[in-house]
Amino acid sequence: MSSELKKVPIPRKGADYRGKVVLAPMVRSGELPSRLLALHYGADLVWGPETVDRSMIGTTRRYNPKTKTIDWTRKPSQSCRGLPAAEIKDSIIYRIHPEKEAGKLIFQIGTSNPDLAVQAARLVAADVAGIDVNAGCPKSFSTHDGMGAALLKTPDKLCAILEALVANIVPEFEIGISVKIRILETAEMTEALVRRLVATGITSLTVHCRTTPMRPRERAIRGQLRMIANVCHEAGVACVMNGDVENRDQALQLMQDFGVDGAMIATQAEKNPSCFQAEADGGLLPWIDVVKQYIRYALEVESKFGNAKFMLTQMVPGKSPVYRDISTCKSYTRICEMLGYDDMVETAREVDLTLDIDPDNAGKKKNKKVNTTALAAGGRTAKSRAVGSSNKKHLSERGVQIPSEAPTSEAVAVPV
């Protein structure tokens, strides 16, 4: 790429997206332990999962000296039936590791309102390296309120959101604003949209090389990619590609082939984050090594066990003899014992007790907690769990796919 090309200035505390291989924003798979694991194996930047503006507004920012994390918490929107108010614990809506993620974390916001977007972004902007607007997720939990891929049909609103963030967040916090989109039905439509977006003052645009109706099993379409990169470069905006990128070496080659500035890895990073290592540095590692490192991070930050188990069912091959055993485990202690991680068993027991989990695998918690990942993504789970499951829709009705090798009680991560 020519050094003569125009470049939008990168704000002083913002991330430069050029030359980067990055972790995609994914619901469930983008939680803190997964981001730390991706960084451990060489990811240049990491996106957190889409967090809806309304879920952030009203949160309280707290530093946790035990986990060395910053947590944004709030009381569940629905009371936990049967528990005194004093015993209802705050839900963690968003959690970061300010030391290990410094300068490398991008906060992705789900929004369809400029004012709410600014209010939510202001709460976290001082602690992240960029704010990214999700205009690409096709799932109903994102599009139902005009967010996600629905914004592709309302470009005036999308541009207004980006302009509001640029005007209110960039000067005060000195970080950049970016947007993640999908390609449209025709190259002409995509070009018209991209030209409008890059004129809003953003520093980067990520394009998922699939249309909104397409799903991950369908091959990415890269025919529009060079055109999109050229339009971005004319405005001085970085262009990051997403879709069927499997490892660092392939990412660097695709960047060269299509003239884009960066590449984003989603599905492969969910399965084995060592994909961020170049082949010359060791390349893809055996799953058993990656899983052990993941559990170390999960214990370090006292991550929700349900999310950790979900991630293990993605990283452990379905044909492995231990896969079924892991899918039935109900404590960190049992996981470490089963996998032979004797050096972590005592720590796992301490974390289990902290999380109100029976370390001996009884699997019952003292206080049932709210699914805060769903809350952050704008889901409505607390009330349905409080009154019972009779009105709960089947996963397929809620737009969640279940992999054939995964236990039916777990939902797959959704790239956003």
Tell me if 129 sits within 8 A of 108, measured CB to CB. Answer: no
Q: What is the mean pLDDT of residues 84-99?
A: 86
Q: Residue 105, Cα to own-chain centre: how many angstroms?
A: 10
DSSP string, 141-210: HHHTTT-GGGGGG-HHHHHHHHHHHHHHTHHHH--EEEEEEE--SSHHHHHHHHHHHHTTT-SEEEEESS
> At 4, is the pLDDT very low, low, confident or very high (cuts 50, 70, 90)?
low
pLDDT of residue 207: 98
**Per-residue confidence at 48, pLDDT binned at 50, 70, 90?**
very high
What's CA 216's distance to the chain center, in Å? Answer: 16
**End-to-end Cα separation, the chain, in angstroms:** 28
C-alpha angle 18-13-105 in degrees, rounded to nearest 5: 65
**Rounded to 5°, angle at Cα 295 from 61 and 304:** 40
- CA dihedral for 190, 193, 198, 201, sign (positive or negative): negative
| Buried residues in 269-280 as b, exposed as e (16+ CB within 10 A) | bbbbbbbbbeee
Mean pLDDT of 74-90: 70
- Predicted confidence at residue 216, as pLDDT, reads 87
Residues in the chain: 416
Q: Average pLDDT of 397-406?
A: 35
Determine the pLDDT at residue 385.
Answer: 39
Tell which residue, 28, 40, 60, has the closest CA to residue 141: 28
Q: What are phi and psi of 84, to 5 degrees?
A: -65, 150
pLDDT, residue 406, reads: 36
Q: Cα separation of 71 and 93, whole Å?
A: 8
Residue 392: count of CB within 10 angstroms of its CB: 13
User: Could you tell me which of 318, 287, 305 has the C-alpha nearest to residue 368?
Assistant: 305
Window from 114-118, 157-161, 293-297, 370-374 with minimum mean pLDDT: 370-374
Q: Is the pLDDT of residue 88 over 60?
A: yes
- Measured distance CA(106)–CA(24) in Å, rounded: 10
Least confident of 359-363, 387-391, 405-409, 411-415: 405-409
- Predicted local distance difference test score (pLDDT) of residue 142: 84
Q: Note the pLDDT of residue 408.
A: 33
Q: Residue 380 above 50 pLDDT?
A: no
* Least trusted range by pLDDT, from 33-47, 211-225, 291-305, 393-407: 393-407
Task: Give mean pLDDT, residues 79-101.
Answer: 81
Q: For residues 209 and 228, is the Cβ–Cβ distance under 8 A?
A: no
More confident residue, 402 or 102: 102
pLDDT number for residue 81:
60
Encode pLDDT of 105-124 as tens digits: 999 999 999 999 999 999 99
- The average pLDDT across 239-247 equals 98
Give whichever of 65-79, 95-109, 365-379, 398-412 has the largest mean pLDDT: 95-109
Which spans in 355-397 are helix H?
372-376, 382-387
Q: Has 209 been annotated as catalytic?
A: no
Lowest-confidence segment of 204-208, 298-302, 363-367 by average pLDDT: 363-367
- Choice between 217 and 399, residue whose per-residue pLDDT is larger: 217
CA distances from 130 to 16, 235, 254 (A): 9, 19, 24
| Residue 410, pLDDT score | 34
Tell me the C-alpha distance between 57 and 78, whole Å.
Answer: 16
Integer Cα distance of 208 and 241 in angstroms = 6
Of 61-75, 145-159, 315-329, 372-386, the least confident:
372-386
Chain centre to alpha carbon of residue 280: 28
What domains, with CATH codes, occur in the chain?
Answer: 20-281 (3.20.20.70), 287-383 (no CATH)
Q: Do residues 180 and 108 touch, judged by C-beta distance below 8 A?
A: yes
Q: What pLDDT is stored for residue 87 in this prediction? A: 66
Helix 32-40 vs helix 287-300: angle between axes, to the nearest 10 degrees? 130
Q: What is the pLDDT of residues 249-284, one digit of tens each?
A: 999 999 999 999 999 999 999 999 999 999 999 999
Contacts of 198 (CB under 8 A, 6+ apart): 205, 231, 232, 234, 235, 237
* pLDDT surpasses 50 at 231: yes
pLDDT of residue 141: 81
Q: Cβ(50)–Cβ(27) under 8 Å?
A: yes
Predicted structure pTM score: 0.86
Task: Say which of 80, 137, 239, 329 is annotated catalytic.
Answer: 137
Q: What percent of the chain has pLDDT over 70?
A: 83
